[in-house]
Amino acid sequence: MNCTDLLSHLSDYFDDQLTTELREEISEHTAGCQHCRVVLNTTHQTIEVYKGNEIYEVSPGLRERLHSAIMAKCLAKR
Amino acid sequence: MPAIQSPATEEVHPDVALVARAKAGDTAAFEQLVRQYERQIFRVAQHITQNREDAEDITQDAFLKAYEKLEQFQGNSKFSTWLVRIAVNESLMRLRKRKTSKTVSMDEDVRTEEGSIPRDFAEWRPNPEQQYNQAELADILRKTIQGLPPGFRTVFTLRDVENLSTEETAEALGLSVPAVKSRLLRARLQLRERLSRYFRQKQEGQPA
Ligand SMILES: [Zn+2]
């Protein structure tokens, strides 16, 4: 496996959709290639940091306002 | 003995019953669906449009449209995926109106090459959360995702922020699974590149 191959499997790797064989090939490659190791680690961190942070949180006030507006609109259509 | 019994292997999603009741005119059932998904729909709209007022309008319009088209929902897909699809379409339409001279679609910006080949090899370990307060980190995450083309931003949002499966994302966007996968890879790599720049600056600015 070379660097380009590794990159093409990166998303499937994170989504746990690779065969054991391919996973092992990736481990072998990253053991000897620092660039790919860094790309793999930091891409993983990128996904995790977005997953773990609600960057557009809906406050209770906004939610209530939104909810009332939605229901008013829908009920007016009946 | 109940006449209709679903086989144990095929679990019926609770939304199916709510949708059936809503179709029959039960507004309380529809209201429950609204409660379940209003926050998610708002977040998706805000991620795509990057504008809070637009996101509020889109959320209202998406539920209204869903309500009006409830008869058309066949139950082949999850109700939430169907709803997300309506919200994504509304959001892209809103973006299109905003940029009057430029069209925005799911096909726009897919040719962007940036991010295909990683360039930034700075490690940012340990977890950046340890170096940032919540507000500062949220600000960085907003700025980095804002810079992505809408087509990439949308795929990343559904897949990695809202945790839809690849198949659900494809369905919600009307794209093929391979198209979703290739956009997701580009989006992830571009975001990685942008975050690396922020976190490296921070590390360089604060020598150990
Ligand atoms: Zn490599």
pLDDT exceeds cutoff 60 at B114:
no
Q: What share of chain B is helix, strand, coil (3-state, %, to 5)?
A: 65, 0, 35
Cβ separation of A55 and B127 shorter than 8 Å?
A: no
CA of A39 to the centre of ligand 1 (A): 9
Q: Of A19-28, B1-10, B129-138, which gets the smallest average pLDDT?
A: B1-10
Shortest Cα–Cα distance, A48 to chain B (Å): 8
Shortest Cα–Cα distance, A39 to chain B (Å): 7
Residue-level pLDDT at B200: 78
Residue-level pLDDT at B20: 94
Residue-level pLDDT at B159: 95
pTM for this entry? 0.86
pLDDT exceeds cutoff 60 at B97:
yes
Query: Residues of chain A whose pLDDT is less than 50?
Result: none
Task: Give the count of beta carbons closer than 10 Å to the beta carbon of residue A30.
Answer: 18
Compute the distance between CA of residue B121 and CA of residue B119 in angstroms, rounded to an integer: 6
Q: Which of residues 111-150 of B touch A (CB under 8 A)?
A: 117-118, 121-125, 127-129, 134, 137-138, 141-142, 145
pLDDT exceeds cutoff 70 at B206:
no
Q: What is the pLDDT of residues B62-96, one digit of tens each?
A: 999 999 999 999 888 899 999 999 999 999 999 88
Residues of A in contact with B54 (CB under 8 A): none
Assign B205 a pLDDT band (cuts: 50, 70, 90). low
B26 touches chain A (CB under 8 A): no
Assign B185 a pLDDT band (cuts: 50, 70, 90). very high
Residue-level pLDDT at B115: 46
CATH 3.30.70.2740, domain B134-205, yes or no: no
Name residue, tokens 């977005």: A50
Which of A38, A51, A56 is facing B123, going by the closest CB pair? A38
Q: What is the pLDDT of residues B137-164, one digit of tens each?
A: 889 999 999 999 889 999 999 999 999 9
What distances in angstroms separate CA A59 from CA A62, A65, A66, B42, B194, one per listed residue?
A: 5, 10, 10, 11, 28
CATH class of segment(s) B14-101: mainly alpha
Residue-level pLDDT at B175: 94
Environment of ion ligand 1 (residues, CB < 5 A): A 3, 33, 36
ipTM computed for the complex: 0.91
B181 touches chain A (CB under 8 A): yes
Q: What is the pLDDT of residues B28-67, one digit of tens each?
A: 999 999 999 999 999 999 999 999 999 999 999 999 999 9
Domain boundaries, chain B: 14-101, 134-205
User: CA of B23: which chain A residue's CA is closest?
Assistant: A78
Residues of A in contact with B195 (CB under 8 A): 42, 45-46, 49
pLDDT exceeds cutoff 80 at B11:
no
Residues of A in contact with B117 (CB under 8 A): 7
Residue-level pLDDT at B208: 41
Q: Which of residues 72-111 of B touch A (CB under 8 A)?
A: none
Mean pLDDT (chain B) is 85
Compute the distance between CA of residue B94 and CA of residue B57 in angstroms, rounded to an integer: 10
Compute the distance between CA of residue B147 and CA of residue B145 in angstroms, rounded to an integer: 5
